Chains A and B, each alone.
Chain A
Amino acid sequence: MDVKKGRVSSAHGLSDEQKEFQKMAFDFAAHEMSPHMAEWDEKEIFPVETMRKAAQLGFGGIYVQPEVGGSGLSRLDTSVIFEALSTGCVSTTAYISIHNMCNWMIDTFGNTEQREKFCPELCTMDKFASYCLTEPGSGSDAASLLTTAKLEGHHYILNGSKAFISGGGDTDVYIVMCRTGGKGPKGISCVVVEKDTPGLSFGKKEKKVGWNSQPTRAVILEDCHVPVTNRLGQEGQGFNIAMRGLNGGRINIASCSLGAAHACVQLARDHLLVRKQFGEALSNNQFLQFKLAEMATKLVASRLLLREAAVALQESRSDAVSLCSMAKLFVTDECFNICNQALQMHGGYGYLKDYAVQQFVRDIRVHQILEGTNEVMRMIIARSLLSESG
């Protein structure tokens, strides 16, 4: 499938199989998501049926292993898919990516019983998952979390609260990082808390600037009894599990920003060709031509860095963590600027909710904040550069 001559396509450099995944994801986004994107945002609808349709195509566990119902694809395949789906709705795709991250954590760190219990239903999206790390008192300083998990017989008793949990209150499986040991990261474990467990409750649904097709709530744990058999991995391994999940999560979130920017470059381009001022189409204006060129250049640069990071993560290269952080930092920042610039090019119309460009801007703004702020990304990169062995 050719695209217009000379234009850099998002399919460049992909294998035939990846092009098929991408095409299918673009089609799904265009037909099943794009027509509803505005309504889901306005009415704050969590589109369960659409996500289950996506799961039927294999999007519930994209990089989860096939023997527990996943699609067994690579990080690069995943990035390509999320980039394409985001052109239909960033918020919904971002939730799907969080769900995938949780699914992968159970698949990778869970024992056989846990994998067989949770993963198949997460892959079909019969059940939905949430990732619970952040607390009111610990965001960037995640390792200082205070939620405790006291061992009593065959249960951990959890006490504490988590903040800003995507899907919170509407999902079924909560991956909770909690303190079983002493201070710092080594005292943290990871447990799976199931919906309707006594002691699990939720705060009010937050009112957000974007990401409105997913509910966000505080998750409150009050003497919540969780069976020891729900702990993933060893005691003290929880922080490591959480961070390994986030490496992939950062690729996914950046992919969502990329899809939004891709869509916005198209929208801006189309608008410039149609809108006339001073007797001619805006596309004849050199400043706007140059701006569009800059946007497209940053888009391609973002895509290349992101895909390289995805490959590095897949191959467990030693630079993977740095690259994932660099990709998250660069891509989310640049793509926000691209979308914001596209809004500006629409003039007053860009500010109206009738036009999709504002929703892309609102939805991807938070990507510069969550899954590790872009400031934390700099910390990770600097640490790697300045380390003894660097």
Chain B
Amino acid sequence: MSPASVFVCLSLTLLSDYPVIRVKPDHSGVVTDGVKHSMNPFCEIAVEEAVKLKEKKFIKEVVAVSCGPTQVTETIRTALAMGCDRGIHVEVSGKDYEAMGPLQIAKIFAALAKKEEASLVILGKQAIDDDCNQTGQMTAALLDWPQGTFASEVTIDGEKVKVVREIDGGLETIKISMPAVLTADLRLNTPRYATLPNIMKAKKKKIANMKPADLGVDMVSRVEVLRVDEPPTRLAGVKVETVDDLVAKLKANGTI
């Protein structure tokens, strides 16, 4: 039985090559207003992998999902233009959106995956603005599904998925049963450009709208951000002549 549907879960992040991110004056977060946003690069890789699996006929349908304010529908449209079949926009805005973290998102994705009977949930390994690297893992835990994270190669073999994972020691190959959660790492693939015909076809594809409450998800955060600061400015170094000098200086400033 070939897997029916694959959910690709997308994150909208601050643009990856944006030169200057500023901390808000009240230190509650970074300034996002007026800053260019786009699809998280690892999520692009996730979309590409899902579309490739569909082109190889391993799966029938790819659904692009994202949580957030109206802005995220642009990301879903881009995913549709890359080849996803339909989209789901889970609307979260205002205070809920500011407080939304990996656990809330994971709850939403898990609820959706169950509701729509997804066989595979593919996410980017982490969002490049918060670098949490938690959503995929939490989603798998909530669903009690196996997870193949930091995937640099994915092969479907009947009811199982072979995943080559990038780990500190090198590469690890695992075989997990479906339904499963995968997270995409950098070398998994090179995302395609949407073609002009596909951008036009995407206009006709459907994006369903829903709220977390429709899925029975409580958005209350158990994490409170106390303070956000810029990293300390790097101080100039000091050159010393001998090892004894080095030891003396380190003792003097309390390092040893």
Is A333 in the interface zone, CB < 8 Å from B? no
Contact A1 B203 (CB under 8 A): no
Q: Which stretch (A19-27, A291-299, A311-319) binds chain B? A: A19-27
**Known contacts A1-B74, A16-B77; A21 and B196 CB within 8 A of each other:** yes
Inter-chain contacts of A5 with B (CB < 8 A)? 33-34
Distance in angstroms between the alpha carbons of A377 and B193 in the assembled complex: 37
Asked if A59 contacts B193 (CB within 8 A), the reply is: no
Query: Across the interface, which residues of B come within 8 angstroms of A17, CB to CB?
Result: 199-200, 203
Q: Name the interface residues of B135-194: CB closer than 8 Å to any CB of A.
A: 193-194
Please determine whether A57 and B193 come into contact, CB atoms closer than 8 angstroms: yes
**Beta-carbon nearest neighbor of A9 in chain B:** B36
In the complex, the answer to whether B36 meets A2 with C-beta atoms within 8 Å is yes
**By the criterion CB–CB under 8 Å, are B196 and A58 in contact?**
yes
> Which one of B33, B36, B74, B196 has the highest number of Cβ atoms from chain A below 10 Å of its Cβ?
B196
Whether B35 is near chain A, meaning CB under 8 Å from some CB there, is yes
In the complex, the answer to whether A4 meets B34 with C-beta atoms within 8 Å is yes
The verdict on A28 contacting B36 (CB below 8 Å), with A1-B74, A17-B199, A20-B78 known, is no
Closest 7 interchain pairs by CB? A58-B196, A5-B34, A71-B196, A20-B199, A57-B195, A58-B195, A24-B194
Given A17-B203, A20-B78, CB of A3 within 8 Å of CB of B197 = no
Name 14 extra pairs, CB < 8 A, besides A20-B202, A24-B193: A1-B37, A1-B71, A2-B35, A2-B71, A4-B34, A16-B74, A17-B200, A20-B77, A20-B78, A20-B194, A24-B81, A27-B193, A57-B194, A58-B195
- Contact, CB under 8 Å: A58 / B35: no
A50 within 8 A of B: no
State in angstroms the CA–CA spacing of A247 and B195 once bound together: 26
**B residues lining the A interface (CB < 8 Å):** 33-38, 71, 74, 77-78, 81, 193-197, 199-200, 202-203
Q: Could you tell me the distance between the alpha carbons of A28 and B196 in the complex, rounded to whole angstroms?
A: 12
Q: Which residue of A lies closest to B37 (CB)?
A: A1
Nearest-CB distance from A337 to chain B (Å)? Answer: 28
25 A-B residue pairs with CB within 8 Å:
A1-B36, A1-B38, A1-B71, A1-B74, A2-B71, A3-B34, A4-B34, A4-B35, A5-B34, A16-B74, A17-B200, A20-B81, A20-B199, A21-B196, A21-B199, A23-B78, A24-B193, A27-B193, A56-B195, A57-B194, A57-B195, A58-B195, A58-B197, A59-B196, A66-B197
- A71 and B197 contact, Cβ closer than 8 Å, known pairs A20-B81, A20-B202: yes
Contact A2 B38 (CB under 8 A): no
Chain B residue with the shortest CB-CB distance to A6: B34
A73 interfacial by beta-carbon distance below 8 Å: yes
CB-based nearest A residue for B78: A20
